[in-house]
């Protein structure tokens, strides 16, 4: 087998790897901040912690421009249709971080009116524990998500074939997506 010597500054890789690498460092977060965890989310974007260092500072408030949903705070049943609609309006590929005990489990609000974990209704990629989590924890979650994207994601979305990504999520209400 012939061995070809590559000139300087030439790298050979798979297209899947290259696209996943680009995606992981250009995340556009969609903040869904409903309570106190949202303050820590804001702090993560401010100068002291500076989420821009990780390529994820472009917060947008339009779901069609975002690919990373960050749910920070408790979600009540009345807000759940809004969360689901925003999630549906985000384009693929998209990811979700559940920030804090309330978003992940309902936290101390063990009551009928609070969603006992958003992963019952939308798929979650990374959970951040704490009440509230520190900005450093959210940044660690972002770094973990970047590693996950680089390891799994493919141009044709083969990662969505995995059984773990196919868990059926319940829909509270059927809304046609505009």
Residue number, 24 or 45, with CB nearest to ligand SF4? 45
29, 63, 73, 117: residue in contact with ligand SF4 (rule CB under 6 A): 73
Say whether residue 33 binds ligand SF4 (CB under 6 A): no
CA 94 to chain centre: 7
Spatial distance between the Cα atoms of 59 and 77, rounded to a whole number of angstroms: 25
Say whether residue 114 binds ligand SF4 (CB under 6 A): no
Spatial distance between the Cα atoms of 131 and 86, rounded to a whole number of angstroms: 25
The residue count for binding ligand SF4 (CB under 6 A) is: 11
Q: In what order do the strands lie in the sheet with 29-33?
A: 29-33, 68-72, 95-99, 126-128
Say whether residue 41 binds ligand SF4 (CB under 6 A): no
Residue number, 101 or 145, with CB nearest to ligand SF4? 101
Interhelix angle 37-45/135-152, rounded to 10 degrees, is 70
CB of 148 to ligand SF4, least distance (A): 23
Residue number, 58 or 79, with CB nearest to ligand SF4? 79
Task: State how far the alpha carbon of 75 is from the alpha carbons of 85, 112, 127, 150, in Å.
Answer: 14, 12, 15, 30
Please enumerate in sequence order all residues whose Cβ is within 8 A of that of 163, keeping only pairs 6 or more positions apart, or say none: none
Say whether residue 70 binds ligand SF4 (CB under 6 A): no
Interface characters, 76-105, with ligand SF4 (x: CB under 6 A): ------------------------xxx---
16, 23, 28, 36: residue in contact with ligand SF4 (rule CB under 6 A): 36
Residues that bind ligand SF4 (CB under 6 A): 35-37, 73-74, 100-102, 107, 131-132
């Amino acid at each position: 087998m012939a061995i070809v010597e590559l000139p300087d500054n030439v790298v050979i890789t798979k297209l899947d790897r290259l696209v996943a690498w680009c995606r992981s460092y250009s995340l556009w977060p969609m903040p869904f901040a409903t309570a106190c965890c949202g303050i820590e989310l804001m702090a993560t974007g401010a100068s002291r912690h500076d989420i821009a260092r990780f390529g994820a500072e472009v917060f947008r408030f339009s779901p069609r421009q975002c690919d990373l949903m960050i749910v920070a705070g408790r979600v009540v049943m009345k807000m759940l249709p809004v969360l689901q609609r925003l999630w549906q309006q985000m384009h693929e590929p998209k990811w979700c971080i559940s920030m804090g005990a309330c978003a992940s489990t309902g936290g101390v609000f063990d009551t009928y009116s609070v969603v006992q974990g958003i992963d019952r209704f939308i798929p979650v990629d990374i959970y951040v524990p704490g009440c509230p989590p520190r900005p450093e924890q959210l940044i660690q979650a972002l770094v973990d998500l970047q590693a996950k994207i680089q390891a799994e994601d493919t141009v044709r979305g083969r990662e969505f074939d995995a059984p773990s990504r196919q868990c059926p999520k319940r829909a509270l209400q059927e809304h046609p997506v505009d």
